[in-house]
Amino acid sequence: MPTPHIAAQEGEFAPNVIMPGDPRRAKLIAETYFDSPRLVTEVRGILGYTGTIAGRPISVMASGMGSPSVSIYATELARAYGVTRIVRVGTMGGAQDFLQLGDVIAASAAHTDSAMTVRRVPGINYSAAPTFSLLRAAVEHAESAGIPLHVGPIFTTDAFYQPENDTVAKLIAMGTLAVEMEAAALYTVGAVEGFQTLMVGTVSDHVYKTEEMSSEEREKTFGRAVEVAIAALQS
C-alpha cells in the first residue's frame, strides 16, 4: 500500500485529514488535539499521525510548501488511503487593511498563478473553490465559539518572493483577503480526485504592513484555526 511519498499501511489513515504545511505543526496538532495519536508515516520528514477526537478517527499530515508538494500528498491520500476530506490549516500574508495579525480566514475561493491548476483544463480559468458543507461547518463553529472569521477569496502563489509587478495590488483591489501557497492546488486536486476540501488559516504577517507577532501569539492564534478546522471535519 505505501505510495512513493507515504509509508503508512492500508487503513492507517482516517477519512478525515487536517493538513498543515509544517511537519512540526502536524506533530503538535496530533499531540494537542488527538487521543492516542500514532505516527503512521515520516517519509522525507513529512509527518502523519492518526488518532481520535471524541471517539472519531482523524489524521493529520503535513503538506510541505507550495502547490506541487500539497498536490502530491493530497493525491496519494485520496487514491491509496481512501481519504475523503482534507482541511488545510496554514498561515497567510494578510492583504487587506482591516486584517490584524492572528485573524482567522476561511478561503471561499483561491485565485492562483500555479501551473498545477492553471493548465488543468486547457482554455479555461478554473475556479478553485472549497466544499460548501465544510465551509458552512467552519462558519457555524466560529460563530458559536465566538471566533471572528473572515470568509473570502485568497491568492495561492508559487512565488513567496513576488516579482516586481502589480499582480498582488490588483488582486487586493478586487477584494482578495490574503496570500498563501497551497489552497488552490488542494481545492483543484479535490475536484479532480473527488474528495472534499477547505482551507482555514491565520494571518501570520501582512503583505504591506510591518507588524510582527511573538511566537506565543502565533501559536495561540494558529490554535484557533486548528479548532475551526477540526470542527469542520467533525461535522
Catalytic machinery residues: 205
61 and 72 in contact (C-beta within 8 Å)? no
Closer CB to ligand HPA, residue 37 or residue 94?
A: 94
> Around 234, how many Cα atoms within 13 Å sit in the side-chain half-sphere?
15
Q: Which residue sits closest to ligand HPA, CB atoms considered?
A: 93
Q: By CB under 6 A, tell whether 207 contacts ligand HPA.
A: yes
DSSP 25-84: HHHHHHHHH-EEEEEEE-GGG--EEEEEETTEEEEEE---SSHHHHHHHHHHHHHHH---
* Binding residue (CB under 6 A) for ligand HPA from 132, 160, 174, 175: 160
The site that binds ligand HPA (CB under 6 A) totals a number of residues, namely 11
Q: Which residues pair with 50 in a beta bridge?
A: 38, 59
CB of 93 to ligand HPA, least distance (A): 2
Site for ligand HPA in 161-190 (CB under 6 A): 179-181
Among 205, 201, 207, which Cα is nearest to 223's?
201
Q: By CB under 6 A, tell whether 92 contacts ligand HPA.
A: yes
* Binding residue (CB under 6 A) for ligand HPA from 113, 205, 217, 219: 205
Scanning 76-84, 91-99, 100-108, 116-124 for contacts with ligand HPA by CB under 6 A, the matching segment is: 91-99
Closer CB to ligand HPA, residue 57 or residue 152?
A: 152
Q: Which residues pair with 86 in a beta bridge?
A: 17, 197
* Strand pairing category for 85-94 and 104-112: unpaired
Report the interface residues with ligand HPA, using CB under 6 A: 91-93, 157, 160, 179-181, 204-205, 207
